[in-house]
Each structure stands twice: as structure tokens, then as C-alpha cells.
A = this chain, B = another copy of it.
Amino acid sequence: MGDRIEKVSIIISKGSLDGIYPGLIMANGARAEGMEANLFFTFFGLDAIHAKRHEHIKLATVGNPGLHLATWAGGIPGVSSVMTHYMESKMAKMDFPSIPEFIEMISDTGAGMYACLASVELFGLTKDDFVPQVDDIITVGDFYEMAGGGQIIFT
């Protein structure tokens, strides 16, 4: 039918643990199926590829009713870190990679990794701020060109 997905272009726009993992899981799954996969990091999603920050990404504990924490508890200093550790230890038990490990793994499968130029400028960053897996800093126009013939997934 020609209906098989050949390529996915996944945009990661959020900077929380629960905002970053879904995009990484979808990119990794796409590569495992032999599909072309490219990751585009924009806005707070840039944290996932920031060399100094990407080991310190936290779960969003307030404004996240899915956690079943009372909202006021989510706002107590330290609660975000506690929940993040809990989630991370659960993930480690399941041999789930950390974000830095996952980025490296996905890059090793041949997926492309790109930072959004407008966001990079907005936050005053340069290519040196990013992990070496980042292939390039690109414009929205470049993104659309790369994404042609595939599915765009904004996360």
C-alpha cells in the first residue's frame, strides 16, 4: 500500500523528564523499526542536549495532576527532586537509560539530532553548550525540508 512510515521528525519542546522521554522513546522505536528518525530540540527541550544540564532534568511535579500528588505538596521545596529520584530509580530497575545515555544510544543508531536556531539565540547558547551528538543548529525552514516525506511529531 505504500503505507509504511519511512521517516519521523520528532520535536522535543519541553524541559521536564516527562516532557523529554516520550520523544526519545519514539525516536528510538522508529530506528529499531528501520525508519529514518531525526530529533529537533526547541525551547526548553534544548535542556535535553545541554552538556551541563541534561543530567539534572526533573519531573514536572506541579501542574501535573497525573502524579496524584496534592498540588501544594508538589510545590514544597525538594518534592520535585524526590519524585524525580523515585522515577529514575524505577527506570534504572527496568534498565531504562538516563537522558544522557539515551541521547547517546539514539545517536549511535544513526538518528540525527538538531537544535532550533531561534531558541538557541533566545537563550544565548552556542554549539559548544551542547553534547557532541548534536549534528547542527538549524532554522525552521531547514527543519521542514528535512521532514518532507515523513511524519512530524511535536512533543
- A interface list, Cβ under 8 A from B: 1-5, 8, 11, 13-19, 21-22, 25-26, 28-30, 32-33, 35, 42-45, 47, 53, 57-68, 70-72, 74-77, 79-80, 90-91, 94, 96, 118, 121-122, 124, 139-141, 143-145, 147-149, 151-155
Contact = CB atoms under 8 A, between A and B. Distances in A.
Copies in the complex: 3
B71 A71 contact: no
A74 B71 contact: yes
A52 to B, nearest CB: 11
B42 A22 contact: yes
20 contacts: A2-B149, A5-B144, A8-B144, A11-B22, A14-B66, A15-B64, A16-B65, A18-B43, A29-B143, A32-B141, A33-B141, A47-B66, A60-B63, A62-B62, A63-B64, A70-B77, A94-B121, A94-B122, A151-B151, A152-B153
Nearest to A75: B75
Contacts of A57: 65
A117 to B, nearest CB: 10
A89 B45 CA distance: 21
A42 B19 CA distance: 12
